[in-house]
Amino acid sequence: MQKRKLMFVFISMLLSISIAVAQQDTCPTLVAEALEATDSACSGIGRNEACYGNIQITAELGDPSLVFEQKGDVVELTEIKRLTLSPYIEESTAWGVALMNVQANIPDTLPGQGVMFLLFGDVDISNAGDSMEAFYFSSGIGIAGCNEAASGILINTPEGVGTVSLVANDVTIELGSTALLTAIPDDIMTIALTEGHSIVTADGVSQEFEGGFQVTVPINEDLEAIGAPSEPEPIPEEIGGVVPDITMFIELEESDEDDNTANTDETVEGNIVPLSGDWAFTLDTVEASSGCPPGMDAAMSSAPIPTNYVEFGDTFDLQTMMENTGAEGLPANITYDNPEPNVYTMAFSQEGVTISWIMSLQSDSLMLGEYSVDMSGLGMECTLDVTYNIERQG
């Protein structure tokens, strides 16, 4: 069985910001200690689990015999009906913090990958799906004089899985990277995208925007969306100043036992060498810029890609893999690189089209990556960005 060690870099970054301004102020000190406690208590959280990070959290669970009352307690997301976190209370040193690892619509074939939810402050969240892929939530308005003791849900998607879909307060959020969610009952829900790309849909209207912008959606007292999302606008300076850029890394550690089948992926130290066998290439996301011909992304998404038998030796490099898979029609000016262990790149230009390819070996049975196509050499303001996975079938 694979053990997952989650290195919560995003918690550490939030922690470092809090410590830098703490000095002798009680509120920032408490916030820094709460995040440090969460980082320590929740380092072993697995997919579709929630961890109690810092006091105080009240939990309503499906199984009353389960315990979620103190730092380090872990429960399955399917057991959570509702969590209520405490706002900052100086007298009792309370400021609720919880951590969740949500699978959402990430395929089972990507072991260990999950969307990280960092819940902090005056947050009330109810499970509206199976494992928090849909939920209703509200958040407080913060504490006067202590920006660090804010309230909200910080969400981070893992690299290499493309866009993840979630539903919050009846609003569909397609997210790739990092966003801060806040919601004031009978007012608005705000989706502030600190980095990456997002599409927010409510009341039949969608807004697409990039990192550094936010949209709002009106909600009623029952936290239900009652209107369309606003036009994207820059994140206010007071929000952007306290929300860091965050990154989540997942390491897969080697184990002697299989997870479910004999083909469970294994990770080894150093350079990974894939296993010989049948490998299938699967597109994850395809995004075309506005200057591309209509339907290009749909055509790319629907193109059939066969499974290939690949023979690997004692070492691996991308050039050998391309040759062994029978790739045809590639130009002679291809450049290959291996910028870091288990990461390989390829780039070339042909007839005005430039293609850049990145492949990351996750294990001996799984590769993730992306490639981009730039058609500016053809006089077209068209770029195509694709994410994919290549998985051993046997």
Bridge partners (DSSP) of residue 138 are: 124
* pLDDT confidence bin for 353, thresholds 50/70/90: confident
Rounded to an integer, the average pLDDT of 130-150 is 83
Reported residue count of the chain is 394
Predicted confidence (pLDDT) at residue 324 exceeds the cutoff of 70? no
* pLDDT confidence bin for 247, thresholds 50/70/90: very low
Predicted confidence (pLDDT) at residue 306 exceeds the cutoff of 90? no
Bridge partners (DSSP) of residue 19 are: none
Looking at residue 146, the DSSP 8-state letter turns out to be: B
Rounded to an integer, the average pLDDT of 266-287 is 74
CB 149 within 8 Å of CB 88 = yes
193-211 pLDDT, tens digit per residue, is 988 999 999 999 999 999 9
Smallest CA-to-CA distance from 225 within 182, 276, 280, 170 is with 170
Query: What share of the chain has pLDDT > 70, as a percent?
Result: 77
Fold for 3-250, please state it: Jelly Rolls (2.60.120)
pTM of the complete model? 0.58
Dihedral sign from CA coordinates of 130, 141, 176, 222: positive
Predicted confidence (pLDDT) at residue 174 exceeds the cutoff of 90? yes
Predicted confidence (pLDDT) at residue 184 exceeds the cutoff of 90? yes
75-96 pLDDT, tens digit per residue, is 999 999 999 999 988 777 788 9
Rounded to an integer, the average pLDDT of 231-254 is 53
Provide the residue ranges of all domains of the chain, joining segments of one domain with +.
3-250, 265-392
3-state class of 358 per DSSP?
strand
* pLDDT confidence bin for 315, thresholds 50/70/90: confident
Mean pLDDT for all residues in the chain: 78
Predicted confidence (pLDDT) at residue 213 exceeds the cutoff of 50? yes
* pLDDT confidence bin for 377, thresholds 50/70/90: confident
Helices (H) and strands (E) in the chain, counts: 5, 24
Rounded to an integer, the average pLDDT of 35-54 is 87
